[in-house]
Amino acid sequence: MSFYSLDYEKERFIQLAKKNTRSFYEHHDQIPSSAGQVELAKELVEEMKEIGLEAYYNKKTAFAIGKLSKNVTDDITPIGFFAHVDTADFNANNIRPQVHEHYDGQKIVLDQAKNIVLDSAEFPDLLTLKDQTLITSDGHTLLGVDDKAGITGALAMLRYLTEHSEIEHGDVFVAFGPDEEIGCGGQYFDIADFPGVEFAYTLDNGRPGDFTYDTFNASEVTIHIKGTVVHPGEAYGLMVNATTLMNDFLSNLPQDQVPEKSRNHDGYFLVLHTQSSVDHADISMIIRDFDQAEFNHKEQFIYNLVKKLNQKYGKGRFTVKIREQYENIYNYIKDKPYIVNLALDAYRKSGLTTNVHSFRGGTDGNFISPKGIPTPNLFNGGGNYHGRYEYVTVEQIDKLAETLTNIIMEHLRQTRNGRNEKPLEKYW
């Protein structure tokens, strides 16, 4: 039994998936970073108008904005939903979605000649999708589940509410934005496009029932090291080899606080890139941690290490720059439990088993929350994001549309009858 039209959701997702909207970090100074995103955003504006929303394209931020006006007289705060139009750093040319009706849980050969196979033995979550309509790529591109599934679910929700005018609701805002995959989109968002919105949700990666309001705090670190070049035959007591200094810095980093030894709620240091010669060396790193105090400690560790090595090798040999990229959404959610409780109440009404967990990364919500609209993440369905093995089922998209509708309806019900303000409990 479907919530909305499975045929619409299937065909609309396929249409969206075929569009190349890949973002490019090397063009991150452009808004957006690729022309395909503009084309899709403007197309979504026209579809929202056709559905019956007020809608427009914000040329400055590259967001497609829509508003479904309330049909009640209650004093109810508007809520919002975000999905992103761009796809990740993987081939997105000539995407050919493949539909597998009544999926039987067996392996799917995506390309016989090149032995590209989607196998439930390798990806056991596929076994939970038996009898559903599975959509994959042809194995040569990504599919674009992240986040075309989120967009499709939002559109289905909007169509459902406009086609069922008897369902009461407050103002609902939606925003389809650019460049989430390169960590830029949410930075552009203008909260003037969401007037009065109290809180919002992103519709990003996750299985139905997943819910995330705890993400990394994130910083990027750049270290520059200055050496002294002298002819090696006359170098005694004079040469300072920047490569040697760089190796000293790297050897002093905590060897157990790295991604390959981290999981769950662990943070880490990650050295992304190094380049060195006798004359100079450069190190590019990132710092990640959920806990604010531990995150601050990690940043201070870098400052202290640079100070220590400058004392050892001479003032000015090491210079450091730390740029904070985004904050943990939890910092903005922890004192506003209604935002979480509302979503989880709606999950239960949708028949979902809730899975609240930490997200070892970031979303647009990390940038939008500090702007004054706390924004945790729901789900978009599917799996194996960002590569040739991406998949989603039409039924998962349909469940997203149902869940969004239940959030909207539950928000009105609790506005009238009292909000669920049960304090949040840490789940980690």
Helices then strands, counting H and E runs in the chain, come out as 10, 16
The one catalytic residue in 86, 171, 193, 364 is 86
Distance CA 29, CA 330 (A): 29
The b/e string for 250-279 (b: 16+ C-beta within 10 A; e otherwise) is: eeebeeebeeeebeebbbbbbeeebebebe
Give the residue ranges of DSSP H helices in 25-121.
35-51
Q: Give yes or no: 180 in active site.
A: yes
User: How far lies 375's CA from each of 2, 39, 154, 408, in Å?
Assistant: 28, 26, 16, 15
Which of 5, 87, 94, 112 lies closest to 390, judged by CA? Answer: 87
Residue with tokens 């004359």, as numbered in its chain: 279
Alpha carbon distance 350, 142 (integer Å) = 29
Alpha carbon distance, N-terminus to C-terminus of the chain: 35
Q: In which element (H, E) is residue 99 found?
A: strand 98-100
Residue found under tokens 């998209």: 397
Please give the C-alpha separations between residue 34 and each of 25, 46, 176, 291, 425, in angstroms, as whole numbers.
10, 20, 15, 35, 41
291 is annotated as an active-site residue: no
Between CA 340 and CA 346 the distance in angstroms is 10
Is residue 207 within 8 A of residue 359, CB to CB? The reply is: no
Marked catalytic residue, from 180, 193, 327, 395? 180
Cβ burial 35-58 (10 Å sphere, 16+ → b, else e)? ebbbebbebbbebbeebbbebbbb
Distance (Å, whole) CA 223 – CA 135: 45
Q: What is the DSSP string of 317-352?
A: SEEEEEEEEE--THHHHTT-HHHHHHHHHHHHHTTP
Nearest Cα neighbor of 360 from 260, 278, 280 is: 260
Q: Which residues are catalytic?
A: 86, 180
